[in-house]
Chains A and B, each alone.
Chain A
Amino acid sequence: MRLALQIFRKDVERLRWPIALTLALLAYWAFRDATLPWGTDPTMYSSGSDNWMNLAMPFAWVLLIALAVQEDSLVGDRQFWAALPCGWKPLMMAKTMFVAAFVHAPYFVATAIILAARGFNPAAHLPHLFWKQVVLLALTIPAVAAAVVVRKASHFLLLAIAVASAVVLRVRDFNVIYSQTWVWDIRWELALIVAAMGALVVTILQFIRRSTRSSRIAGVLTAIAAACLYSWVSRDATAAISAAFSPAKDHVTVRLAGEGPARPDSPWGRQLTTVSLPLALDGATGRESETDAVSLEVVTAEGARYDVKPAKSLNPAAKDPIGVSIFATGPRGELSEDIYFTSPQLWERVRRGRVTLRGRMIVEFEDAMQDAADRAGEIHCQRNVLSRSTQQIFRAVFECDSVEIGGRSIRNSIRGREPMQEPRYSLSHFPADTWLSPVHRSRAFFAGGDVFDLRPYAPRGFEIIDYTIPNIDLNPFLVRAR
């Protein structure tokens, strides 16, 4: 321990300016995240400059980690420390202390401050804060692993830029393609878990043996395994894992609702045939938060079966002839299961008779929390602050800069027939949220007569629901082309 502290003190002395810079950056992010107007997306899905902190902050952290590790590089045979009477344990402990002291601990404090500023009691949400630390480990462990196998900090920088570029490209892609398929989000976590575990093995091996070649090979194999997992894990598997990690423990059934919410005209016009089935959930004790289709089988009266793939996008150019998505479209969480036919011939065959639908969906439930925050009921609609797309929505709803909500009914006289969704203000979703912010500020759409309920909600768990809707005529549910 004495030697570990000695090395730690040396690293702190050496890296005091990078440490100060990183802490300043974290302070800026925490301040912004605690004070940004409601409705701004805290992820990188949106283009707001503050959201790029989700990339800049981790980038700063991994560079700091690399500098600390490279102070006593494990690669090569010219290191000063290699002939010192210092085993791998004090050295590894010193670097671990550095990462804990200047990455994890400050982030923990920052997230606690943000929760407090947003009206949540941090002490009541320690598991949530620790979960964010676990998520951060998925960044810091691979960073340490990369730093212990590269020869110079400059090599690490190149590697970090390459990885960050890939993440940026993937996230931009993600925004477009997977906006309707949140259940697959967990693939990120699965890949990160594999990457982090492999990285931990690489790190320990390299500290103990300093066998750089073997460690690099192990690192590359880990990266390949994580990429394969991300690419190949099935939708069923991601749903099962989500439910296993965090079961909602409700016994929920799905039925066709007698009358669903009015659906807007299909934005795809005649390029895409859309059937929208109103669904109702029975037996749920919590509020439905997110719903996603896992699978659907359409069986015609003649016995023909069509496996319907969950839609990766609403793009009519999609290759699959038939797709499905499930939306929460009503102000009280009513669901619509939309089946898309990109093949007109297929739709013509299906519409001739009655069909049976056998589906599987996954639903995330959330519970209203008791420690409702005062500031959670406050919306700041400052036109110059909001992003362009969000501003358009808010402008349509509000004609003032600041509105106190508190359960007040606000009428939108302009766009009364838009899809509706209750605004939410809750803790991050478990385990699918890997962004920095400890609070989840989802974007919302408003419609006439909405009652704003800004009570905070906490995610409760996932439920996989199998359902059968027999003998149904799809024609009455056809969505009119715009």
Chain B
Amino acid sequence: MNVMLRTDRLAKKFGRVEALESLTVEVPEGSVFALVGPNGAGKSTAMKVCLNMLRASSGTATVLGVDSRKLGPGELARVGYVSETRQLPEWMTVARFLAYCREFYPAWNDADAAEFVRAYELPLDRPLKSLSRGQRVKAAIAATLAYHPSLLFLDEPFSNLDVLVRDQVIETILAAGAETTVFLASHDLAEIESFATHVAYIDQGTVRFTEEMGALATRFRNVEVVMSDGAALPKELPAAWLNVEQAGAVVRFTDSRFGAAEHDAQMRRVFPNAREVNAGAMPLRSIFVALAKSAKK
């Protein structure tokens, strides 16, 4: 498995504020890797450090096999970056913007650029500053996918976009999936659930876990146990059980290691007189809510 992006205990401080504490992830080739977490978790900072737009305080990032601090034009020609905070040359018309970008990328494909313009219905003669937010994102994505990047960084590309535009952009990204590895930062879990292959959860600058989406969905379960009596739970509960709540004879919790070998033994030890056990699959959003609540406790 080729790794397109690897970070090793990557950290970034702004003065005394630790924006990124210790990010260690590996993004395999061909994957859609989602870095998720609440606003201010350090996702954008991580991307900018990977792209050498910010200097890491410690740790390393390797992009396309090259230390991010040594990224040169050769590597950047194979990297795409679309960010909601990126300052585009707003005075340029869409046509001028595409023509300007074209010169920087040897792999630029005019036909593909024209196709994106057509599909996105981009007005070529209008300046970027007069476009809607959705149109600007489309223009940025068109200018990025036209050179078929090997690795595409997307920093909150869908925030504040309407549903139609968002679906259109996702479709485009998925269509490029065969040749483009995507590293995506988002706080909107619902939008990435449908197409991300890997996910890393980051909170307060620290990665809580990183996993394949399929494994994650299998591992997390909402568990409800109905006991024959209302006996109190033991003080020592398995660490993998999150947000345990008891209401009379009913106990609910999130099991973050559902299906593990020791799972059955743990259930028997904690609930020796369980009358009924129900374990339900969890959507990604619920998993992260459970994780966030657990982290606060």
Contact = CB atoms under 8 A, between A and B. Distances in A.
Contacts of B76: 83-86
A77 B89 contact: no
B91 interface: yes
Interface string B140-156: 00000000000001000
A85 B100 contact: no
A77 B53 contact: yes
Contacts of A79: 53, 87
Contact of B81 (A3, A14, A83, A86): A83
B74 interface: yes
Given A2-B103, A77-B54, A211-B55, A86 B87 contact: no
Interface string B68-110: 0000111111010101011111010000000011011100000
Contacts of A211: 55
Interface in A73-96: 77-80, 82-87
A122 to B, nearest CB: 38
B185 interface: no
A165 B165 CA distance: 52
A78 B82 CA distance: 11
A409 B91 CA distance: 65
A10 B53 contact: no
A6 B48 CA distance: 25
B86 A84 contact: no
B146 to A, nearest CB: 13
Nearest to A14: B91
A80 B104 contact: no
A85 B73 contact: yes
Interface string A393-407: 000000000000000
A354 B54 CA distance: 75
Q: Which interface class (under 10, 10 to 19, 20 to 34, 35 or more) fits A?
A: 10 to 19
A3 B102 CA distance: 11
A2 B100 CA distance: 12
Contacts of A6: 100, 103-104
A83 B77 CA distance: 9
A85 B77 contact: yes
Contacts of A71: 89
Contacts of B81: 83
A439 to B, nearest CB: 41
A270 to B, nearest CB: 66
B103 A80 contact: no
B79 A83 contact: yes
B189 interface: no
A191 B101 CA distance: 42
B213 interface: no
B113 interface: no
Contact of B104 (A77, A78, A82, A85): A85
A83 B89 contact: no
B54 A86 contact: no
B196 interface: no
B20 interface: no
B54 A3 contact: no
B73 A80 contact: no
Contact of A83 (B53, B74, B103): B53
A14 B96 CA distance: 11
Contacts of A77: 48, 53-54
B283 to A, nearest CB: 33
A80 B105 contact: no
B53 A82 contact: yes
A82 B83 CA distance: 12
A223 B73 CA distance: 34
Contacts of B87: 78-80
Contacts of A85: 72-77, 104-105
Contacts of B91: 14
A175 B273 CA distance: 100
Contacts of A3: 103-104
A211 B101 CA distance: 25
B51 interface: yes
B157 to A, nearest CB: 14
Interface in B181-206: none
B51 to A, nearest CB: 5
A87 B55 contact: no
A76 to B, nearest CB: 8
Interface string A203-226: 000000001000000000000000
Contacts of A78: 83, 85-87
A83 B48 CA distance: 9
Nearest to B89: A80
B147 to A, nearest CB: 9
A86 B73 contact: yes
A211 B53 CA distance: 10
Q: Which of A14, A78, A80, A83 counts the most chain B CB atoms within 10 A?
A: A83
B165 to A, nearest CB: 21
Contacts of B104: 3, 6, 84-86
Contacts of A86: 73, 76, 104
B60 to A, nearest CB: 18
Nearest to A209: B55
Contacts of A10: 89, 100
Interface in A426-463: none
B85 to A, nearest CB: 5
A93 to B, nearest CB: 14
A3 B54 CA distance: 23
A3 B251 CA distance: 65
A427 B73 CA distance: 48
Contacts of A2: 103
A87 B53 CA distance: 13
Q: Which of B75, B81, B87, B101 counts the most chain A CB atoms within 10 A?
A: B87
Given A85-B73, A85-B74, A85-B105, A80 B51 contact: no
A479 to B, nearest CB: 66
Contacts of A80: 86-89
A170 B90 CA distance: 41
Contacts of B72: 85, 87
B69 to A, nearest CB: 10
Given A2-B103, A6-B103, A83 B85 contact: no
A83 B100 contact: no
Instruction: In the A-B complex, list the 10 residue pairs whose CB atoms are closest, starting with the nearest.
Output: A85-B76, A85-B77, A85-B73, A83-B81, A77-B53, A6-B103, A78-B87, A82-B53, A84-B104, A77-B48
17 contacts: A2-B103, A3-B104, A6-B104, A10-B89, A14-B89, A14-B91, A77-B54, A80-B86, A80-B87, A83-B76, A83-B81, A83-B86, A85-B73, A85-B77, A86-B104, A87-B73, A211-B55
Given A78-B85, A78-B87, A84-B104, 4 more contacts: A3-B103, A83-B79, A83-B153, A85-B74
Interface of B: 48, 51, 53-55, 72-77, 79, 81, 83, 85-89, 91, 100-101, 103-105, 153
Interface of A: 2-3, 6, 10, 14, 71, 77-80, 82-87, 211
